[in-house]
């Protein structure tokens, strides 16, 4: 393992966070604060509690997951797409480092930035509502696994994309709606029985449900199923990344 190569890529990508602090940190925090104000105050005044939890506190895991998914994907996708765009990716590919070391550098940096932002969002939420984390170890597990998995997913999107518009296509048109429809702001028990069954086909539901369980011990689906889903998606992303480097898909052309 060439740790110096991994470190170099990792530090280079982390330095970009400092250069774009307004976009990388301040903007997501302000957006999340607005969600708390709109949903917590406006809707929370009409829905006092959900499953015995104050509504403002109930939506915290969903808001954190929304921010985590969006930023994990965008950080990783832009991180690998920009070298493709300017042509410096060939310098990385021709260097004496393996694909594993390349992935560790880019994905590790993207996941780290998302984790930092997630913890900042959690601290921000404390300013609005009282939060209780009953299972902090499991909370960190879901936080880390989600950041790593969706950073890998963003890495795949960055390699697949051939223009800047495609970088935002999946996060905006697929991921964000799935989060909103995956129980981020409500319990699926509040839905009619038919729509409860439809919602179970949404993979993001299992992430939000497991993450919320680590806070309040309440979940829409079994915690075991949530863990199995995140591990399965991680394995799928790893397989796709392995195939990309094995075949050179959109890297050698």
pLDDT in tens, 179-200: 888 888 888 888 888 888 889 9
- Asked if residue 238 is part of any domain, the answer here is yes
- Asked if residue 76 is part of any domain, the answer here is yes
- What's residue 235's pLDDT? 96
- Asked if residue 129 is part of any domain, the answer here is yes
> Which range marks the domain in which residue 167 is found?
3-247
In angstroms, rounded to a whole number, what is the distance separating the alpha carbons of residues 244 and 253?
Answer: 12
Two tokens, residue 45: 């005044």
The answer to whether the CB of 101 falls within 8 A of the CB of 6 is yes
Two tokens, residue 146: 């989600």
Q: Average pLDDT, stretch 140-145? A: 95
* Helices 223-247 and 136-160, axial angle in degrees (round to 10): 30
Displacement of CA 68 from its chain's centroid (Å): 3
- What's residue 139's pLDDT? 95
| Unique residue bearing structure tokens 């991921």 | 175
- Asked if residue 207 is part of any domain, the answer here is yes
- What's residue 193's pLDDT? 87
Displacement of CA 78 from its chain's centroid (Å): 14
Average pLDDT over the chain, rounded to an integer: 87
- Asked if residue 243 is part of any domain, the answer here is yes
Residue 253: band (very low, low, confident or very high) from pLDDT cuts 50, 70, 90: low
- Which of 66-80, 87-101, 199-213 is the least confident region? 87-101
The answer to whether the CB of 108 falls within 8 A of the CB of 14 is no
- Asked if residue 16 is part of any domain, the answer here is yes
Q: Determine if the pTM surpasses 0.75.
A: yes
In angstroms, rounded to a whole number, what is the distance separating the alpha carbons of residues 113 and 185?
Answer: 25
- Domains identified in the chain, total number: 1
Backbone angles phi, psi at 53, to 5 degrees: -115, 135
- Asked if residue 253 is part of any domain, the answer here is no
- Asked if residue 252 is part of any domain, the answer here is no
The answer to whether the CB of 63 falls within 8 A of the CB of 32 is yes
């Amino acid at each position: 393992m060439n740790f110096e190569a991994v470190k170099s890529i990792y530090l280079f990508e982390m330095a970009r966070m400092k250069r774009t602090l307004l976009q990388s940190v301040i903007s997501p925090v302000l957006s999340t604060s607005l969600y708390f104000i709109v949903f917590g105050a406006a809707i929370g005044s009409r829905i006092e509690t959900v499953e015995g939890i104050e509504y403002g506190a109930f939506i915290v895991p969903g808001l954190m997951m929304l921010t985590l998914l969006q930023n994990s994907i965008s950080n990783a996708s832009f991180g690998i797409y920009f070298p493709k765009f300017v042509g410096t990716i060939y310098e990385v590919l021709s260097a004496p480092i393996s694909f594993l070391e390349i992935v560790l550098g880019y994905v590790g940096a993207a996941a780290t930035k998302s984790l930092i932002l997630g913890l900042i969002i959690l601290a921000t939420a404390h300013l609005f509502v009282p939060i209780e984390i009953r299972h902090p170890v499991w909370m960190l597990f879901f936080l880390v696994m989600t950041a790593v998995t969706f950073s890998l997913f963003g890495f795949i999107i960055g390699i697949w994309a051939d223009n800047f518009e495609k970088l935002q296509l999946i996060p905006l048109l697929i991921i964000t709606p799935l989060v909103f429809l995956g129980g981020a702001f409500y319990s699926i028990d509040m839905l009619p029985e038919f729509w409860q069954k439809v919602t179970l086909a949404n993979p993001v539901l299992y992430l939000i449900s497991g993450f919320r369980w680590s806070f309040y011990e309440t979940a829409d689906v079994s915690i075991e199923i949530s863990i199995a889903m995140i591990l399965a998606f991680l394995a799928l992303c790893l397989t796709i990344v392995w195939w990309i480097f094995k075949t050179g898909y959109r890297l050698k052309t």
